[in-house]
């Protein structure tokens, strides 16, 4: 504390046990108001300068900035009052509340469950208030004395609280890092959607691995204690998670060779639809019925897959049409071509075409060949629209669509023997 402040506080009129807490409370209110004003100026600039961070915290940037400034200013104001005085304790209580609110907004912005946020905020508040009152060591000793012994290890309440706080903090850090890195990669130029998705998956794996080793180091876990079980555990994981790791590697390979990308229209077995996303375990394919099929990544590596938009999004559709044998062939073909050209989803280039394919039993077989560029919207609607137009044009111009006909020959009656 600056040496000139202690005499200044001592010369204040009235009882120091009453005056100092009031001065501390007034100073705390002033500092919080200052932090409020600074946050109003800094939060919009922070969102503009660091848009991935603003998106990752889901609308909590202003509250986090406000309580962050308040915690910093209150920590400076805490030095004004001598340790152990009531003024110091009042400033510590307000500082503890600011830090608890800061942690709450950060964790809630990362969608951490409330049941995990509230205990951590209370723990931070208690630790800061205890430290301000000079009693953090007794509180720690009390929590360390509460526990039980299992074999050669002693499990204490302080240890459990430390583990819980570390796990929540690491989980929040992983989620924040994944969101910031994911938003940054998504906004980066020079990468196509597949490369961005691959970079996001690899970055997420790297963040989780780094968080695991940091957590082991912070908690002081001795991994050599698990050396006896590592062989059996690794073998069990190898067999039990064989398919999981296979799907993970298959998903990474699919993203690297770019054979299947989000937005592609594919056919796998009986599943036809457009690829919504490529996950760690499965590919999400949404059909025209709105059903979402989750196809394991490994199936896409081992089974035959039709990718309608692998190198070109244009898809040709064949629409069969039959006319009567006594119809005007040229007129019918011209009407079929007109119906295809008037359909809104049919491309003008490549232009539609009409082929005569066969002479059937009761009709002349044709195929209308049309191209579309949006296969994710389905092909049934295009066929329905073109056939509806053909039907109307045939009726207007007298072109008949025949019914199947069968000729039955009956032999003359034979005389009975």
The mean per-residue pLDDT over the stretch 205-216 comes to 82
**Torsions phi, psi for 393 (to 5 deg):** -65, -40
The mean pLDDT of the chain is 77
The mean per-residue pLDDT over the stretch 199-216 comes to 82
- Whether 133 and 87 have beta carbons less than 8 Å apart is answered as no
Residues 147 and 133: their CA atoms lie apart, in Å, by 25
The CA–CA distances, whole Å, from 158 to 128, 164, 383 equal 16, 10, 70
Segment holding 282, helix H or strand E: strand 282-286
CB atoms within 10 A of CB 274: 21
Q: Which position has the higher pLDDT, 50 or 87?
A: 87
The mean per-residue pLDDT over the stretch 338-355 comes to 91
- Whether 273 and 288 have beta carbons less than 8 Å apart is answered as yes
pLDDT (0 to 100) of residue 370:
93
230 has a pLDDT exceeding 70: no
Residues recorded for the chain: 417
Q: Which two tokens stand for residue 245?
A: 């790791």
Q: What is the pLDDT of residues 271-295, one digit of tens each?
A: 788 888 877 778 888 887 778 888 8
Q: Is 14 left (phi over 0), alpha (psi -120 to 50) or beta?
A: left
In this structure, of 76-85, 134-143, 219-228, 235-244, the range with the lowest mean pLDDT score is 134-143
In this structure, of 75-84, 329-338, 347-356, the range with the lowest mean pLDDT score is 75-84
Residue 96 makes CB contacts below 8 A (sequence gap 6+) with: 124, 125, 126, 127, 128, 129, 132
**Beta-sheet strand order (sheet of 306-307):** 292-296, 282-286, 271-278, 265-268, 306-307
Cα atoms in the Cβ-side hemisphere of radius 13 Å centred on 333: 13
Q: What is the pLDDT of residues 66-77, one digit of tens each?
A: 888 888 888 887
Residues 79 and 122: their CA atoms lie apart, in Å, by 23
113 has a pLDDT exceeding 70: yes
The CA–CA distances, whole Å, from 323 to 237, 251, 336 equal 64, 49, 11
* 124-130: long-range pairs with CB below 8 Å, 24+: 124/96, 124/99, 124/100, 125/96, 125/97, 125/99, 125/100, 126/96, 127/96, 128/92, 128/95, 128/96, 128/99, 129/89, 129/92, 129/93, 129/96
In this structure, of 18-27, 149-158, 214-223, 260-269, the range with the lowest mean pLDDT score is 149-158
The mean per-residue pLDDT over the stretch 374-379 comes to 80
Domains present along the chain, CATH in parentheses: 5-134 (no CATH), 247-307 (2.30.30.60), 315-397 (3.30.70.100)
- Is pTM beyond 0.85? Reply is no
pLDDT (0 to 100) of residue 336:
93
């Amino acid at each position: 504390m600056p040496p000139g402040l202690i005499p200044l506080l001592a010369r204040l009129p009235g009882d120091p046990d009453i005056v100092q807490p009031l001065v501390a409370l007034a100073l705390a209110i002033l500092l919080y108001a200052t932090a409020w004003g600074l946050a109003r100026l800094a939060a919009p600039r922070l969102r503009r300068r660091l848009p991935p961070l603003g998106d990752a915290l889901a609308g909590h940037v202003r509250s986090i900035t406000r309580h962050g400034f308040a915690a910093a200013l209150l920590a400076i104001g805490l030095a004004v009052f001598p340790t152990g005085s009531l003024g110091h304790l009042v400033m510590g209580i307000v500082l503890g509340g600011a830090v608890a609110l800061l942690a709450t907004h950060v964790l809630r912005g990362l969608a951490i469950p409330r049941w995990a946020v509230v205990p951590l905020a209370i723990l931070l508040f208690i630790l800061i208030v205890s430290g301000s009152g000079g009693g953090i060591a007794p509180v720690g000793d009390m929590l360390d004395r509460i526990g039980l012994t299992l074999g050669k290890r002693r499990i204490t309440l302080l240890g459990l609280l430390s583990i819980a706080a570390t796990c929540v903090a690491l989980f929040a850090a992983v989620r924040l890092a994944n969101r910031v890195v994911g938003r940054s990669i998504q906004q980066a130029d020079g990468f196509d959607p597949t490369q961005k998705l691959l970079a996001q998956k690899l970055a997420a794996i790297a963040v989780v691995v780094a968080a695991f080793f940091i957590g082991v180091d912070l908690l002081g876990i001795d991994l050599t204690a698990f050396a006896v079980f590592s062989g059996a555990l690794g073998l069990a994981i190898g067999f039990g998670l064989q398919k999981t790791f296979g799907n993970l590697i298959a998903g990474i390979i699919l993203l690297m060779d770019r054979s299947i990308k989000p937005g592609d229209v594919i056919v796998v077995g009986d599943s036809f639809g457009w690829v919504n996303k490529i996950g760690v375990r499965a590919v999400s394919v949404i059909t025209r019925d709105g059903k979402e099929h989750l196809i394991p990544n490994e199936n896409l590596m081992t089974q035959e897959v039709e990718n309608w938009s692998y190198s070109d999004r244009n898809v040709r559709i064949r629409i069969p049409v039959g006319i009567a044998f006594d119809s005007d062939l040229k007129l019918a073909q011209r009407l079929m071509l007109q119906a295809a050209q008037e359909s809104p989803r049919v491309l003008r280039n490549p232009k539609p075409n009409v082929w005569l394919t066969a002479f059937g039993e009761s009709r002349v077989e044709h195929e209308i060949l049309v191209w579309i560029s949006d296969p994710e919207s389905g092909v049934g609607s295009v066929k329905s629209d073109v056939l509806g137009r053909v039907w109307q044009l045939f009726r207007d111009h007298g072109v008949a669509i025949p019914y199947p006909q069968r000729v039955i020959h009956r032999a003359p009656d034979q005389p009975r023997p």
